[in-house]
Structure 1
């Protein structure tokens, strides 16, 4: 399965499972961990668990077995690693706290401290 097809499959499953506020981020060039991060919210811990389990199941059924998953039992924040696509499923309060979309959309900032600047002069 191609990367774009996998991303589309995940978004389709999220929509079918009535996940909220689905956000797809292209993080190529920002990290070597994955190409896409998909963030979505569930309405309860049971909803988050069900979405995570369904994403994993449907991906495996399509020939892309997850490399792993985390947090599914707790249900506040579940992660499903599909290699080229990493899916974060969270309760709204957890999502607001971590603000992954803002974190990954921020431009890279390279600074030099004053001490380092003075030392190299």
Structure 2
């Protein structure tokens, strides 16, 4: 699976659980550790975990397993590291606070559309 295919699969899995404001950030040339961020928002910690669970399940079905996962128990911000693609699932307030889109303002943003 290419990075673009993985990014789209993550977006689709997030969208299936009603994630909002899904964007793909092209981090190539800006970070050495990954090529893409997929960022999305949820209303509650329960929804954050449901989105993370669905991403994990759908990508596992395609043979991709995450390397590392953080923040699942708290459910405010779950990070799922798939190597060249990192998924960030935020509660809305946390997304606004950490503002990854502004922090990495040079990255090209592509909104996800079903």
Q: TM-score, normalised by structure 2?
A: 0.89
For 2:104, what is the secondary structure of its paired residue? helix
Residues in 1 aligned to 2:7 and 2:98: alpha-carbon distance in whole angstroms: 22
Instruction: Compute the displacement of 1:51 (Å).
Output: 0.5
**Is it true that 1:15 corresponds to 2:21 in the alignment?**
no
Say what the alpha-carbon RMSD is for the aligned residues: 1.2
Moved over 3 A (4+): none
Q: Which has more radius of gyration?
A: 1
Residues in 2 aligned to 1:50 and 1:77: alpha-carbon distance in whole angstroms: 12
**Is it true that 1:24 corresponds to 2:24 in the alignment?**
yes
More helix by share: 1
Residues in 2 aligned to 1:25 and 1:106: alpha-carbon distance in whole angstroms: 10
Q: What is the match of residue 6 of structure 1?
A: 6
What is the aligned length? 107
More strand by share: 2
Residues in 2 aligned to 1:66 and 1:57: alpha-carbon distance in whole angstroms: 10
Unpaired segments ≥5 residues, structure 2: 108-114
Q: What is the match of residue 87 of structure 2?
A: 87
Instruction: Compute the displacement of 1:50 (Å).
Output: 0.8
Greater relative CO, 1 or 2 (CA 8 Å, sep 6+): 2
Unpaired segments ≥5 residues, structure 1: 108-121
Instruction: Compute the displacement of 1:41 (Å).
Output: 0.4
> Deviation per CA, 1:31-80, whole angstroms, max 9, x where unpaired?
01111001100110000011011111211111111101000111001001
